[in-house]
């Protein structure tokens, strides 16, 4: 093959394509140079939990019931059966009712978050996020070019007093925040669940300062302890909340199905950003037929699996680190957030963990500008089996001690 001269695309790229994420010192996952044996980095569902045979049966049932429609183009808002299932799931697990007119099916929750960004964010706009918060959403936001203001969290979730301070300061400048992004349940990475008090305060602030709330809830069904708290979307009386959800954690990430919940009068505007001919009509049907029969039993099975993994990882961390580190105890979800022992060198820890083939995500990845969190790491207990958790956490604790 002839060598092709490299072309410069600088004059052709969009403004968004030219936006670059800041280099976050230490934001690379440990173990990137070689395949880790002990995978505590990404929030991947347990492959042993996938209902292989039942999904085959659901596929056959969908074809028997709907024939060629299974393989045709779909509705712009998504498969009606799946939208109805989201309504049923919301009522069963969260105790409030929505209509299919609130639901738009997306290609996973990341697509839902991107569509919310399409709807609200222009280059140069201001948004408020928790700090720390999910690195994937931060990367999505960066592509839209906003100014991101990070607000700290505590055991009740986002600090609403700090949110109000930021909103007041923006108002003094003649500006406002386009949205406030929050992860309400088992916050990723810090693990807390936002209290009802904070949720109510956040809604009041959104109304007072004329902004929207983007509520991310990928793990809500996977609660292993504690009592559920009504969602922001369910509490909202003023049409201020957009909410993303997904089947990735309660079915399988590979189905690539999620949704965005929105006020009825706003959903058609969001739908304008969909150009896919209906999100995956085939897999939408397979997932719907499976979940109609198995959702509640399967979620209960998953709760048992992940509760055991959480407890095993926490016990191993306690044995390995004692009281030298601050370790979160989330009521659900996939992650544990650790403040490293004082004096730990984060770069040295990364090198030592890589040698031991243990992966994790360093703290700076979860801050808007990668300039904080150097004394934290996030561990995921979802993918590894129990033996891998025991061995891998032991090796990680050795590395932490050696990095001090």
Mean pLDDT of the chain: 94
More confident of the two residues 18 and 128? 128
* Number of residues that make up the chain: 404
Q: What is the mean pLDDT of residues 270-279?
A: 89
Around 268, how many Cα atoms within 13 Å sit in the side-chain half-sphere? 2
Cross-strand partners of 157: 154
**pLDDT digit string, tens, across residues 86-130:** 999 999 999 999 999 999 999 999 999 999 999 999 999 999 999
Listed in sequence order, the DSSP H helices in 173-280 are: 196-208, 232-235, 267-271
Our separate counts of H helices and E strands in the chain read 12, 15
- DSSP string computed for 334-396: SEEEEEPPTT--HHHHHHHHHHTTEE-EEGGGGSTTS-S-TTEEEEE-SSS-HHHHHHHHHHH
Instruction: Give percent above pLDDT 90 in the chain.
Output: 90
pTM of the model: 0.93
Alpha helices in 26-78 (DSSP H): 52-66
What φ, ψ does residue 339 adopt, rounded to 5°? -90, 115
Tally of CB atoms within 10 A around 387: 9
Tens of pLDDT, residue by residue over 42-75, are: 999 999 999 999 999 999 999 999 999 999 999 9
* Correct CATH for 26-50+298-402 of 3.90.1150.10, 3.40.50.300, 3.40.640.10, 3.40.80.10: 3.90.1150.10
Give the DSSP per-residue string, 222-252.
Answer: -B-SS-----HHHH-SSS-EEEEEESTTTT-
| Angle separating helix axes 52-66 and 281-321, nearest 10 degrees | 160
pLDDT of residue 15: 83
Residue with tokens 């090198």: 351
pLDDT exceeds cutoff 90 at 344: yes
In this structure, what are the phi and psi dihedrals at residue 79, rounded to the nearest 5 degrees? -60, 125
* pLDDT bracket for residue 27 (50, 70, 90): very low
Please enumerate, as own/partner, the contacts of 164-168 that have beta carbons within 8 Å and a separation of 24 or more.
164/205, 166/128, 167/128, 167/205, 167/208, 167/209, 167/211
pLDDT average, residue stretch 28-43 = 73
| CA neighbor of 150 nearest in space, from 190, 200, 113, 204 | 190
Residues of the chain with CATH 3.90.1150.10: 26-50+298-402
| Residues in contact with 169: Cβ distance below 8 Å, sequence separation at least 6, in sequence order | none
pLDDT of residue 28: 45
Q: Is the pLDDT of residue 2 over 70?
A: no
Q: Where in the chain is the domain with CATH 3.40.640.10?
A: 52-294
Confidence of residue 267 (pLDDT cuts 50, 70, 90): very high
Placement of tokens 């409030």 in the chain: 96
Tell me, which fold does domain 52-294 have in CATH? 3.40.640
Decide if 153 contacts 131 (C-beta within 8 A).
Answer: yes
Listing from the earlier edge strand, what are the strands of the sheet with 361-362?
A: 326-327, 335-339, 376-380, 361-362
């Amino acid at each position: 093959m002839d060598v092709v001269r490299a072309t410069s695309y600088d004059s052709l790229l969009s403004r968004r394509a030219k936006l670059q994420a800041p280099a976050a010192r230490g934001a690379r996952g440990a173990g990137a140079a070689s395949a880790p044996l002990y995978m505590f980095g990404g929030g991947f569902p347990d492959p042993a939990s996938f209902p292989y045979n039942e999904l085959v049966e659901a596929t056959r049932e969908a074809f028997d019931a709907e024939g060629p429609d299974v393989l045709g183009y779909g509705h712009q808002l998504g498969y009606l059966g799946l939208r109805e299932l989201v309504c049923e799931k919301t009522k069963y697990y969260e105790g409030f009712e929505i209509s299919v007119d609130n639901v738009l099916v997306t290609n996973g929750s990341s697509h839902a978050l991107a569509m919310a960004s399409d709807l609200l964010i222009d280059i140069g706009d201001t948004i408020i996020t928790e700090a720390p918060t999910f690195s994937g959403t931060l990367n999505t936001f960066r592509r839209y070019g906003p100014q991101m203001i990070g607000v700290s969290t505590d055991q009740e979730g986002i600090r609403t007093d700090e949110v109000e301070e930021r909103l007041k300061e923006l108002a003094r400048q003649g500006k406002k925040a386009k949205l406030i992004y929050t992860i309400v349940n088992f916050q990723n990475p810090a693990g807390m669940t936002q209290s009802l008090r904070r949720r109510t305060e956040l809604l009041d602030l959104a109304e007072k300062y004329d902004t929207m709330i983007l509520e991310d809830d990928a793990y809500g069904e996977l609660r292993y302890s504690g009592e559920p708290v009504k969602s922001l979307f369910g509490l909202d009386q003023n049409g201020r909340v957009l909410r993303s959800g997904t089947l990735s954690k309660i079915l399988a990430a590979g189905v690539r199905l999620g949704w965005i919940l929105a006020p009825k009068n706003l959903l058609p505007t969001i739908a304008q950003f969909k150009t896919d001919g209906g999100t995956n009509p085939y897999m939408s049907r397979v997932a719907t037929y499976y979940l109609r029969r198995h959702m509640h039993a399967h979620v209960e099975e998953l709760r048992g699996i992940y509760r055991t993994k959480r407890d095993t990882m926490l016990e191993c961390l306690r044995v390995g680190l004692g009281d030298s580190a601050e370790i979160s105890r989330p009521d659900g979800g996939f992650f544990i957030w650790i403040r490293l022992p004082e004096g730990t060198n984060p770069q040295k820890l990364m090198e030592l963990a890589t040698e031991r083939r243990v992966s994790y995500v360093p703290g700076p990845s979860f801050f808007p500008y990668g300039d904080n969190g150097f004394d934290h790491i996030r561990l995921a207990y979802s993918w590894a089996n129990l033996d891998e958790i025991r061995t891998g956490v032991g090796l990680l604790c050795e590395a932490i001690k050696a990095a001090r």
